[in-house]
Structure 1
Amino acid sequence: MRILITGGTGLIGTPLVQRLVARSDKVTVLSRSPQKVYSHFCKAVECWTSLQDKQNLNQFDAVINLAGEPIAEKRWSDEQKKILCESRWVITQRLTELIAASDTPPHTFLSGSAVGYYGDQGQAVVDEFEQPHDEFTHYLCQHWEALAQNAESPATRVCILRTGVVMSLNGGALAKVLPIFKMGAGGPIGHGKQFMPWIHIDDMVNAICFLLDNHSLSGPFNMTAPYPVHNDQFSAILGEVINRPAFIRTPAFAIKAILGEAAALVLGGQQAIPKRLEEAGFQFEYIELKIALEDLFKTQ
């Protein structure tokens, strides 16, 4: 299969490209840094630096869109919100335009989103049909998804990847909190009962490949493990796995003082379940958080 990937050197993109190359797909990575692409993948992939000079995507069978500014790196000033939105919206709009301009368009368009689409759902069980709360993360994801859905046609199916917290030691939330937990200073955040929908990086890559290969599937999919956990459960399990105490609670007011509005990312949550993935027949390797973390740390 001939595949174009944006965000191909990111947390999810890197192992995904490696998997696709290993199964003999022909991969093109869109990146402003060819040196970074080739340092990750040598010459196993082609690199494009821009879409602006492209007229169509006739040469591709599928497009996987994972690009976007990390959402939790900075406080959500008005300028940062604009950056977060445009880093997702602009490239998705351009991909949709190129797909529409193609005489033989890609048959598959997989486009990123996040469980933040739903907003803070408290203790409710959240499948793909849950009504969202009107928060910034929903505003960002809803328009992102709508732009991608514009590529839907009789020739092109669209799958939306509503991703939870990806468990990996190579970046993301786990890598960010791990130094604190290793010092014995980790613990729950706020009241600790906010749900944390998570997914092992291997299952994330497997699920993307599953959607890529199953041409009857389209629409939104929660890319999360079947059993989300409360934040205090996550803290206790991580502490147990790395053999460190994990009882130092960070109060909500401190998180709000540090992150501002972005504190909603960790003080709120969603009990998101992968209903549509499981109904389609996808088999998770890691359904329990402890087993997932033990797998990640087995070589540490």
Structure 2
Amino acid sequence: MNILISGGSGFLGSAFSKEILKRYQSADTDLHITWLTRDSSQAHPNDIQMMTYDELAQTDLGFDVILNLAGAGIADARWSDERKEQLLASRIKPTESILEFIARTSTKPKLLVSGSAIGWYGTQGDKPLNENSGFEPDFAHQLCDEWEQLALEATNYGVPVAIVRTGVVIHPDGGMLGKLLTPFKMGVGGQLGDGKQIMSWISREDWVGAAIFIIEQHLTGKAGSGTIDTGEMDTENVERAATVDNTLPTANETPAVVYNLTAPNPVTNHTFTKTLGAWLHRPTFFTLPAFLLKLMFGEMATLLIDGQKVLPQALLESGYTFRQPTLKQALEEQD
């Protein structure tokens, strides 16, 4: 199997590559990973191939799966007009290059897995949200929706699409947790605002596991099969869950689906703060009030003080079992 990854060297792409190579090599199965890059001299593991976007525009190679993860970090800088344009362009341009490749290649991929985020749903407080839920319009929704709609154009060429809407990914190597470790270790970590906002998170191990699961389900024709394994899932979430139709509308008969890549047990910011402090054996007395966060981050403060309760219902119904369904496990059981 040949897999092409945009954003392969990033926080998620590198972990995905390492894990799927390990699994397939241990099963003595032929697997090749290629990272799309703008810099051909970029450092990379020996068992990873590199390809520039210019080379993609000319290659005759075929890929079974394309994993589209390229995009600047949404929380890395204040949302100025210029930054908003950068966030959009960093997602749209790589996706356009992939679509151009799909359009001209004679050997079409069997699946395009394209990144998105739970920001698609907009700010909806503690309302449980699954793949059937609607959205509230804001910048995060606009950003995710434009990225998703472009990726769905792959179905025009007969390529099935799986959109993965990712929550806050937990691992000390990077992401939000990587940024929080230093202040929390110094004993100056604390909750944001009133701490009641819901945080929909997923461990990096489960993000990788879920992505591999989705790919294998689609390639074997088992997508959408299975029953819910609730495990340690919050019973309130189970009671509110009904069978979800995670298909997305397309202009043809080529299928497209969406998955929420979040853990089944979202937590409040207060709980997250206390759990992280306990894991690090550090106090968590400090609080950053909402008004100060808005002064510091402007519109981007919505990511910190407005919650989303996004549930991975389609993933559970497909039969995926979470390895780290609780935040405590995600912190203590690092891969």
Q: TM-score range by the shorter chain?
A: over 0.9
Paired residue secondary structure (1:28): strand
Paired residue secondary structure (1:249): strand
Paired residue secondary structure (1:214): helix
Q: 2:176 aligns with which of 173, 176, 179?
A: 173
Counterpart of 2:66? 63
Change (3 A) 1:46 1:240: same
Change (3 A) 1:56 1:277: farther
CA contact (8 A) 1:57 1:99 kept: no
Whole-angstrom CA distance in 2 between matches of 1:139 and 1:201:
25
Counterpart of 2:37? 31
Paired residue secondary structure (2:42): helix
Cα shift readout 1:114-154 (whole Å, capped 9, x = no counterpart): 00111111010010111111000000000100001111258
Cα shift readout 1:22-72 (whole Å, capped 9, x = no counterpart): 22420110112344342xx1x211101224661467511110001001111
Change (3 A) 1:200 1:251: same
Q: Does 1:47 align with 2:53?
A: no
Runs of 4+ in 1 over 3 A off after TM superposition: 33-37, 55-58
For normalisation by structure 1, the TM-score amounts to 0.94
Paired residue secondary structure (1:141): helix
Once the two structures are TM-superposed, the CA of residue 246 in structure 1 deviates from its matched residue by: 1.1
Once the two structures are TM-superposed, the CA of residue 21 in structure 1 deviates from its matched residue by: 2.3
Whole-angstrom CA distance in 1 between matches of 2:316 and 2:51:
35
Whole-angstrom CA distance in 2 between matches of 1:145 and 1:55:
25
Q: What is the correspondence of 1:84-99 to structure 2 with a 5 Å cutoff?
A: 84-99=87-102
Whole-angstrom CA distance in 2 between matches of 1:229 and 1:239:
15
Q: Does 1:11 align with 2:14?
A: no
CA contact (8 A) 2:102 2:157 kept: no
Counterpart of 2:233? none
Q: 1:82 aligns with which of 80, 85, 108?
A: 85
CA contact (8 A) 1:187 1:247 kept: yes
Counterpart of 1:278? 316
Q: 2:273 aligns with which of 219, 230, 235?
A: 235
Q: 2:296 aligns with which of 254, 258, 268?
A: 258
The aligned amino acid for 1:28 is T
Whole-angstrom CA distance in 1 between matches of 2:113 and 2:149:
13
Whole-angstrom CA distance in 2 between matches of 1:116 and 1:51:
31
CA contact (8 A) 2:56 2:101 kept: no
Whole-angstrom CA distance in 1 between matches of 2:203 and 2:294:
28
Whole-angstrom CA distance in 1 between matches of 2:263 and 2:192:
21
Q: Which sections of structure 1, spanning at least 5 residues, go unmatched?
A: none
What is the root-mean-square deviation of aligned Cα atoms in Å?
1.6
Paired residue secondary structure (1:48): strand
Change (3 A) 1:183 1:192: same
Q: Does 1:199 align with 2:188?
A: no
Whole-angstrom CA distance in 2 between matches of 1:268 and 1:76:
16
Q: Which sections of structure 2, spanning at least 5 residues, go unmatched?
A: 26-30, 224-255
Report the count of equivalent residues: 294
Counterpart of 2:124? 121
Q: Which moved more, 1:152-161 or 1:101-110?
A: 152-161
Whole-angstrom CA distance in 1 between matches of 2:115 and 2:39:
21
Whole-angstrom CA distance in 1 between matches of 2:94 and 2:150:
10
The aligned amino acid for 1:141 is C
Whole-angstrom CA distance in 2 between matches of 1:11 and 1:57:
29
Once the two structures are TM-superposed, the CA of residue 98 in structure 1 deviates from its matched residue by: 1.7
Q: Give the percent of matched residue pairs that are identical in Structure 1 and Structure 2.
A: 40
Q: Does 1:287 align with 2:290?
A: no
